[in-house]
Amino acid sequence: MLTPYGYPTILKTACIAILLSGAAHLFAKPLLPEALIFSVFLLLFTLYFFRDPIRTPPDKKRTVLAPADGKVLLVKPVNNHFTGPSSTLVSIFMSPFNVHVNRIPVDGTVTLLSYHQGTFMMAFDHRSLESNEKMEIGIENKELKLHFSQVSGFLARRIVCSLQQGEQVERGKRFGMIRFGSRVDVIVPAHVEVTVKAGQHTKAGETVIARF
C-alpha cells in the first residue's frame, strides 16, 4: 500500500526514470544498461519510501502512541509552553529506510498548529530541536494536553500535515509525513509516565510510548 502523500513524487520519479532511459537509448547507447539499472533502482526506492502499511492501534486505554516509525534518540525533562513545566520530551528519529507516514498519538481536538521556518541540520543532531524547520501540533482531551512536532532534517525538505485547527482526531489515524529522513518530537505533561527509553524502536500507531 502506498501513501497518497507520495503520489506527486512517485509520478515525478517515474518521469525522470523514463527520460533518463530514453536519453541513454537515443544519445548514449553504451550507457543504456547503467541508465536502466539506475532508473529502476530510483523508482523502486521511491515506491519503498512511500509505503504505508496497515497499522492496528493496541486496545489499551489512557496511552500515548508513537506518531512515527524510528528510533528513540532522546528522553529528557523539559518545560513546554503547551504542556507546562516538568514535562518529558521523547524524540524519535526516522531514517530514510523507515516508514515515514505519521499517525495521531491520542484522541482529542487539535488546538495548536504552528509552522516555523528554520535550518536543515541533521535530524539526529540535538541542536535541531530548536533550529530546524518544524510543524508544531497540540492535541487536547479531558485528561491531557499533548505537544508534538514534525521536524525536518538534512534531506527532508518537505513537511506534510493535513490537520486543521479545531479538528477532532483519533489515535492511530494518518495525518501527514516528512520526506526523506527526519524526526518527530513528542512532549507529554508531568503526570504522564513515559514507557520507552533511548535506543528503542517504535512503530507509528502501534508502539505505546507513554501512559496517563
Which residues are tagged catalytic? 182
Query: Considering only CA atoms, which of 108, 98, 109 is closest in space to residue 184?
Result: 98
Q: What angle do CA 134, 65, 135 make, to 5 degrees?
A: 10
**Rg of the chain taking only CA atoms, in angstroms:** 19
Residues 62 and 190 sit within 8 Å (Cβ to Cβ)? no
Dihedral sign computed on CA atoms, order 168, 174, 179, 180: positive
